[in-house]
């Protein structure tokens, strides 16, 4: 009986040890995505998205909601940074129904763009085409 208890404790500890690094790895893989978006480096963003997709089987829509850059989503960050290439790439990669849904603050991207006065931005135009 004691052997079974010891074995189950060892297996539990080992499984927790393997689960934690996987979470840390995805966070590490996405660590500099805000910098990439702000720098408007489309090639590096594509590379990052491909790496995350091949290593973790996650597409942009899977981790988009979990990432904030100074309290803003990735597309909002691109709009504020005037990062047209990375912003339009993300708009094209996201499902159109997701683009029309409210974000963490309860505002849709379209409403937030109008509120910020960014209607003339090329990313806003690409967004309106998708919606």
What's the pLDDT tens digit per position in 63-118?
Answer: 888 888 888 888 888 888 888 888 888 888 888 888 888 887 888 888 888 888 87
Q: In terms of pTM, does the model score above 0.85? A: no
What residues pair up with 72 in beta bridges, in sequence order? 69
29: left (phi over 0), alpha (psi -120 to 50) or beta: alpha
Q: What does 63-89 look like in DSSP terms, one character per residue?
A: HSTT--BTTB-HHHHHHHHT-HHHHHH
List the chain domain ranges. 15-130
pLDDT band with cut points at 50, 70 and 90 for residue 20: very low
pLDDT band with cut points at 50, 70 and 90 for residue 11: low
What residues pair up with 69 in beta bridges, in sequence order? 72
For 71, other C-beta atoms within 10 Å of its C-beta total 9
Give the per-residue pLDDT at 21: 44
Give the per-residue pLDDT at 23: 52
Contact 123, 78 (CB under 8 A): yes
C-alpha–C-alpha distance, residues 97 and 12, integer Å = 40
């Amino acid at each position: 009986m004691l052997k079974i208890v010891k074995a189950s404790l060892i297996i539990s500890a080992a499984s927790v040890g393997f689960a934690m690094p996987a979470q840390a790895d995805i966070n590490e893989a996405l660590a500099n995505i805000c910098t990439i978006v702000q720098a408007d480096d489309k090639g590096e963003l594509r590379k990052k998205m491909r790496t995350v997709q091949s290593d973790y089987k996650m597409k942009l829509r899977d981790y988009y909601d979990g990432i904030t850059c100074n309290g803003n989503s990735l597309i909002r960050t691109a709009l504020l940074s005037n990062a047209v290439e990375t912003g339009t790439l993300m708009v094209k990669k996201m499902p159109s129904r997701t683009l029309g849904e409210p974000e963490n603050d309860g505002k849709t991207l379209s409403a937030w763009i109008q509120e910020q006065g960014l209607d003339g931005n090329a990313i806003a135009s690409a967004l309106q085409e998708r919606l």
